[in-house]
Structure 1
Amino acid sequence: MEPVVVLILTAVFVGALSQRITGMGFGLVSGPFLVLLLDPVSGVILVNICGIIAAGTVFARTWREVEWPIFAKLAFGTVVGTLPGALLTTALPTAPLQVLIGLLIIASLGVSLLIGHLGARIPENFGTQFTAGFVSGTMSAAAGAGGPAVSAYAVLTRWEQRSFAATLQPFLVVGTGSAILAKALLDEGAWPRLDPAIWVGIGVVLVAGLLGGDLLARRVAPQTARAAMIVLAFGGGAATLAKGLGLLG
């Protein structure tokens, strides 16, 4: 098996672990590395495809705790937001797009951490929910990482963790699905060109990661898992940024 294939499968496996343990993180953890291993557009689409499966699997277990009125407003925003994100990915050359993806991931994580530290608060209304969804949709289409914007909204509104994590799953399905559709309509060549055997391997490691996450979720503290996710996401974002800057130079 070629080293690049092993790295792709590893990135998918670790992203699935993160998604199952923390409720989010597939795009943040896997996205930067898949963008490095593939081209930015097809790499983000692969993240979106796997993210739909990962979030859908978690949703099958948590749907009873979803807050559907909030989900509807967030989902409306994310569907609208995927269009500018998709336009960015199809309009920019490879090097600037890698720089943009790296910067978006690093900035979104940094802002989320800062918001949590400051302890600020915003009202729960249509405007804040639509805005969070819109930013998430743009991020999902551009970088494959729509979670931080909604995570920031949850922190700012003091959204209870269990219902937030449950509501996040169908929201991510809608956001990533919209991102795939928008990019497919704008660029017919955006779909990842991988051998059938690699697609099978991705499916296998995705399931394995979700099952492994089930086991680890009972043994690993959520704070520890979240810290590991943030470290990996920052590292991947920095590597993507560095590669894009290197290509520009």
Structure 2
Amino acid sequence: MEPVVVLILSAVFLGAVSQRVAGMGFGLVSGPFLVLLLDPFSGVVLVNICGIVASGTVFLRTWREVEWSSLWKLTLGTVIGAIPGALLAAALPAPPLQILIGVLIIASLISSMVIGRIGKTMPANFTTQFTTGLLSGTMSAAAGTGGPAVSAYAVLTRWQQRAFAATLQPFLMVGTTSAVIFKAIFDHSAWPQLQVQTWIGIAAMLVAGLIGGDWLSKRIESSSARIAMIVLALGGGAATLIKGLIHLW
């Protein structure tokens, strides 16, 4: 097996573990590494495809706690937001897009951490939910990371964690599916050109990562898992940013 395939499978496994343990993080953890290993177009599409499966699997276990009234407002925004995100990804050359992805990942992580310490709140209404979905959809299509925007919204509205984590799964499913569809429409070459055995390996790593994450979630604190997710995502985002800058220069 080629080293790059091993690294792709490892990134998928880590992303699946993060998704199961923290309720989010597949795109944040695996996204920047898949962009580095493939390219900023097909890498993001692969992140979206795997994210649909990962979120859908978690959703099967948490659907009873979903806040459906909040979900439809968020998903309306994310479907619309996926359009400009996909257009932006299709219009930019590879190096600037890598830079954009790296900046978006780093900025979204830092802003979510800062927001968590501010202590301010905002109302949970149609405007804030639609806007959050819009921003998340744009980031999902452009960079494969739609989670931080809705995570910041959850902090600012004091959304109860269990309901937030449950609602996040179908929300991410809709957002990533929209991103894949619009990216396929605007850029026909964005679909990852991988061999059949690599796709089979990716599916196996998704299952293994979700099972491993389920086992791990019962043995470590969620705060520790979140710290590990942030460290991995920041490292991958920085590497993607640096690679884009090097290629641009």
TM-score by length of 2: 1.00
Q: Secondary structure at the match of 2:24?
A: coil
Aligned to 2:96: 96
User: Which structure 2 residue ranges, 5 or more long, are not aligned?
Assistant: none
Q: Which amino acid aligns with 1:101?
A: I
User: Tell me, which stretches of 5 or more residues in structure 1 are unaligned?
Assistant: none
Aligned to 2:110: 110
Shift of 1:55: 0.1
Residues 1:11 and 2:11 are matched in the alignment: yes
Q: 1:114-147, CA deviations, whole angstroms, 9 ceiling, x for partnerless residues?
A: 1001111111110000010000000000000000
- Tell me which amino acid in the other structure corresponds to 2:41: V
Question: How do residues 81-160 of structure 1 correspond to structure 2 at under 5 angstroms?
Answer: 81-160=81-160
Which residue matches 2:165?
A: 165
Q: Distance in 2 between matches of 1:144 and 1:157?
A: 24
AA aligned to 1:82 is A
| Cα deviation 1:212-248 (Å, max 9, x = unaligned) | 0010000010000000000000000000000000001
Whole-Å separation in 1 of the counterparts to 2:203 and 2:155 = 33
Q: Note the C-alpha offset of 1:193.
A: 0.3
1:51: how far off? 0.2
Q: Name the counterpart of 2:197.
A: 197
Aligned position for 1:174: 174
Shift of 1:177: 0.1
Partner of 1:74: 74
Q: Report how many residues are paired.
A: 249
CA–CA distance in 1 between the matches of 2:94 and 2:220? 38
Aligned to 2:23: 23
Deviation at 1:189, TM superposition (A): 1.1
The residue identity in structure 2 corresponding to 1:177 is T
1:188 deviates by: 1.1
Distance of 1:26 and 1:124 partners within structure 2: 26
Give, as a single letter, the amino acid of the residue that structure 2 aligns with 1:73: K
- CA drift at 1:163: 0.4
| Partners of 2:62 and 2:179 in 1: CA distance | 23
Partner residue of 2:240?
Answer: 240
Residue 41 of structure 1, CA deviation: 0.6
Letter of the structure 2 residue corresponding to residue 228 of structure 1? A
SS at match of 2:41: helix
What one-letter code is carried by the residue in structure 2 that aligns with 1:56?
G
Compute the RMSD of aligned alpha carbons.
0.4
